[in-house]
Amino acid sequence: MSDKYKKILMVLIPLMIAIAMPLIVTDNYFRGIFIMTLIYIIVVLGLNFITGLTGQMNLGTAGIFAMGSYTTALLSTKLGISPWLTIIGSIIMGLIIGVGLGYPSLRVQGVYLALTTIGFGEIVRILISNFKFTNGIMGIRDIPAFTIGSFSFDDKLARYYLYLVFVVIMGVVAYRITNSKWGRLFKAIRDNYEAVQAVGVDIAKPKVLAFTLAAIYGCVAGSLYAVHMEFITPSVYTFDLSTTFIVMMMLGGIGSVPGCILGAVVCTILPELLRDFGNWYWIIFSILVLLVILFRPNGIISFLKTRKKSVKEGVK
Amino acid sequence: MANVLTVEHLTKKFAGLTAVNDLSFTMKERTIHSLIGPNGSGKSTTINMCTGSLPITSGTVKYRDEIISGRVLHEVASRNIGRTFQNLKLFGSMTVEENLMVGMQAQMKDGILKFLVSPASAKAEEKRANERAMEVLDYIGMYKYRNETVANLAYGQQKLTELGRSIMTAPKLLFLDEPAAGLNPSERVEFVKILLKVFDDGIDLFLIEHNMDVVMNISNYITVINFGSKIAEGTPKEIQNNDEVIAAYLGSQFKKK
């Protein structure tokens, strides 16, 4: 089979599974888990730009996610703006965060950048917990659902398919960027930023771009989360959530778009399947994660990848 | 012939140590200019200052008529000044082809929005870069290794990849920091052939090198430094007969009768 057909199948099969899943599993609780999976896929696809490809550790994704959620929640409940339009608000918020967090982060690297981003996440959480207009720790309730005319996406099945459309669009964009000159540049910065400068590229711009993409994806996912939950509180957006996103990316395959999708799916659904083990399920899940990271550092996706041609095979 | 590079009173101090001290020299157009000297004499520091990798303490560096001292690495590079590094700086996780394609990045002007809304334009831009990469790969004899991950290659091939990436930036002046170091004799011969081809194609070369066979055979002009200061300059023949250079660096076996 040619590579082209293999690629088409690699997209079609997971997409068909994604379309069929909520029809096969009709339990509303599990449909809710599937929706959460879609939301997390978007976050991890964004995180992949900055941490997976560019190699800049971002441990403040929960803060970005919160900013998206609160943008939608506040705009729709306080100003009565349509949830569709609040998505645009979220994208603008992502731009602001990307530039606001991206430029200062040019001065710090490695563990210092990790600490800076943790600081960002915590500042956001503390602020939304204390501001009056965000309703403090009580959170915001009655966030309206997406509607088209008289049709409302408040049913979980309809909402699942709507969110799947978001995932497909954002997944295609992520895939295109990753496999373009931008993705190549992000990886080059990760491998050796001085060599990138030596070919005449100011690394500030691509770094800020990667931060901005991560922030836009995180904020849009945050918006979808707020609409899905209808009620949000600051207690969700913790440092734990940021590390969960990192685990999803590492487990699936750092730097790879299909890997990120797979990681988000496994990390969201597997704990639910392991619930029968009672209190042991987190330990079992953690051991599985550790084993994958230890023995397949390129993630679960590396099981599916074929070996590249060796030097000898490449020589004609 | 016009001056390509003019270095005037260049000085670099690291805390108490003066690595380069009041160094002045000029490099003429269409020459291969070498900078030689013992280990620790300040050669790499000089290149690093000229290319903006290292801030200078005092003095000026001029590329043709423009002062480039005070500019950072990417600003210098964007003036068609390429460089390679003493310790190779490659994108280890990427293929040879991808490494070269990054070399073309600054010339690929399409922004992210244009990229997203106009796939055809993005494709055309990528195709142009890819075609150029294939030409350069062929030029440096690395075409057959194009799909190999750089980290898996032998040292000589990695050096060629770094050179190829610099050529992709379409430089007019290329700084090479010890290009022949670590190469076996046959690799060295091949590498020198490629360097001469690069020079013949219109790229002026400034190199630091310890291998005197390479330096004396391909250089048009040589500047010698010791303890950060210039001790001699001239043609290879003049340098080989300079008593101070022989005493400080070359040794008597290089003296030309």
Question: Measured between alpha carbons, how far is B84 from B90 in angstroms, rounded to an integer?
Answer: 10
Q: Which residue has the tokens 């994704």?
A: A61
Q: Measured between beta carbons, which residues in chain B are less than 8 angstroms from residue A194? A: 53, 73, 85, 89
Contact A199 B125 (CB under 8 A): no
pLDDT tens for A206-221 read: 999 999 999 999 999 9
Q: How many CA atoms lie within 13 A of B128 on its CB side?
A: 11
Q: Nearest 10 degrees: CA dihedral of A169, A93, A226, A223?
A: -10
Question: Measured between alpha carbons, how far is A271 from A40 in angstroms, rounded to an integer?
Answer: 14
Query: Could you give the 3-state DSSP secondary structure of residue B1?
Result: coil
Task: Return the minimum-mean-pLDDT range out of A195-199, B14-18, B78-82, B217-221.
Answer: B14-18
Helices A281-295 and A239-252, axial angle in degrees (round to 10):
50
Q: Which of A172, A186, A199 to mutate to test the interface with B (most CBs of B within 10 A)?
A: A199
Q: Measured between beta carbons, which residues in chain A are less than 8 angstroms from residue B83? A: 198
Q: In Å, how far is A71's CA from the nearest CA of chain B?
A: 24
Q: Which residue has the tokens 């250089």?
A: B219
Q: Let me know: does A249 contact A263? Beta carbons within 8 Å.
A: yes
Question: Measured between alpha carbons, how far is A256 from A262 in angstroms, rounded to an integer?
Answer: 10
Question: Measured between alpha carbons, how far is A85 from A147 in angstroms, rounded to an integer?
Answer: 11
Residue type, B144: K
Contact B91 A195 (CB under 8 A): yes
Question: Measured between alpha carbons, how far is B162 from B142 in angstroms, rounded to an integer?
Answer: 11
Q: In Å, how far is A256's CA from the nearest CA of chain B?
A: 13
Chain center to CA of A158: 22
Q: Which residue of B has its CA nearest to A170?
A: B116
pLDDT tens for B18-36 read: 999 999 999 999 999 999 9
Question: Measured between alpha carbons, how far is A228 from B175 in angstroms, rounded to an integer?
Answer: 58
Q: What is the pLDDT of residue A276?
A: 86
Q: Which residues of chain A have pLDDT under 70?
A: 1, 306-316
State the pLDDT confidence band at B241, using cuts at 50, 70 and 90. confident
Residue B213 tokens read as 């066979």
Q: In Å, how far is B128's CA from the nearest CA of chain A?
A: 12
Residue B155 tokens read as 């040292």
Chain center to CA of B253: 28
Contact A184 B102 (CB under 8 A): yes
Chain center to CA of A285: 20
Q: Measured between beta carbons, which residues in chain B are less than 8 angstroms from residue A190? A: 93
Q: What is the 3-state secondary structure (H, E, C) of chain A?
A: CCHHHHHHHHHHHHHHHHHHHHHHCCCHHHHHHHHHHHHHHHHHHHHHHHHHHCCCCCCCHHHHHHHHHHHHHHHHHHCCCCHHHHHHHHHHHHHHHHHHHHHHHCCCCHHHHHHHHHHHHHHHHHHHHHCCCCCHHHCECCCCCCEECCEECCCHHHHHHHHHHHHHHHHHHHHHHHCCHHHHHHHHHHHCHHHHHHCCCCCHHHHHHHHHHHHHHHHHHHHHHHHHHCCECHHHCCHHHHHHHHHHHHHHCCCCHHHHHHHHHHHHHHHHHHHHHHHHHHHHHHHHHHHHHHHCCCCHHHHCCCCCCCHHHHCC
pLDDT tens for B131-154 read: 999 999 999 999 999 999 999 999
Domains and CATH numbers, chain B: 1-80+171-257 (3.40.50.300), 91-168 (no CATH)
Residue B172 tokens read as 């007019």
Mean pLDDT score of chain B: 93
Q: What is the pLDDT of residue B255?
A: 63
The CA-atom distances, in angstroms, between A261 and each of A37, A163, A167 are: 9, 14, 9
Contact B115 A315 (CB under 8 A): no
Q: Measured between beta carbons, which residues in chain A are less than 8 angstroms from residue B78? A: 200
pLDDT tens for B39-80 read: 999 999 999 999 999 999 999 999 999 999 999 999 999 999
Provide CB contacts within 8 A for A312, sequence distance 6+: none
Cβ atoms within 10 Å of B5's Cβ, excluding its own:
22
Q: What is the pLDDT of residue A316?
A: 34
Q: What is the pLDDT of residue A309?
A: 45
Q: Which residue of B has its CA nearest to A188?
A: B91
- Say which DSSP state B254 is in: G
CA torsion sign for B70, B75, B81, B83 is: positive
A residues 96..155 contacting B (CB < 8 A): none
Contact B77 A314 (CB under 8 A): no
Q: What is the pLDDT of residue A311?
A: 42
Q: What is the pLDDT of residue A310?
A: 41
Question: Measured between alpha carbons, how far is A60 from A113 in angstroms, rounded to an integer?
Answer: 10
Question: Measured between alpha carbons, how far is A178 from A172 in angstroms, rounded to an integer?
Answer: 10
Q: Burial of B199 by CB count in 10 Å (0-12 exposed, 13-18 middle, 19+ buried)? A: middle
Q: Measured between beta carbons, which residues in chain B are less than 8 angstroms from residue A180? A: 115, 122, 126
Q: Measured between beta carbons, which residues in chain A are less than 8 angstroms from residue B89? A: 192, 194-195, 198
Q: Let me know: does B62 contact B5? Beta carbons within 8 Å.
A: yes
Question: Measured between alpha carbons, how far is A125 from A137 in angstroms, rounded to an integer?
Answer: 10
Contact A200 B168 (CB under 8 A): no
ipTM over 0.95: no
Provide CB contacts within 8 A for A182, sequence distance 6+: A206, A209, B112, B115
Question: Measured between alpha carbons, how far is A49 from A179 in angstroms, rounded to an integer?
Answer: 12
Q: Measured between beta carbons, which residues in chain B are less than 8 angstroms from residue A197? A: 72-74, 77
Contact B94 A209 (CB under 8 A): no
Question: Measured between alpha carbons, how far is A200 from A195 in angstroms, rounded to an integer?
Answer: 9
Cβ atoms within 10 Å of A220's Cβ, excluding its own:
26
pLDDT tens for A11-30 read: 999 999 999 999 999 999 99
pLDDT at residue B86 is higher than 70: yes
Helices A204-229 and A28-47, axial angle in degrees (round to 10):
170
pLDDT at residue B251 is higher than 80: no
For residue B82, the cross-strand partners are: B174
Q: What is the pLDDT of residue B16?
A: 85
Q: Which residue has the tokens 């190549």?
A: A184
Query: Could you give the 3-state DSSP secondary structure of residue B131?
Result: helix
Q: Which of B81, B105, B109 to mutate to test the interface with A (most CBs of A within 10 A)?
A: B105
Contact B105 A185 (CB under 8 A): yes
Q: Which residue has the tokens 């976050």?
A: A43
Percent of chain B residues topping a pLDDT of 70: 98
Hey, is the C-beta of A174 within 8 angstroms of any chain B C-beta?
no
Question: Measured between alpha carbons, how far is B169 from A9 in angstroms, rounded to an integer?
Answer: 38
Cβ atoms within 10 Å of A272's Cβ, excluding its own:
14
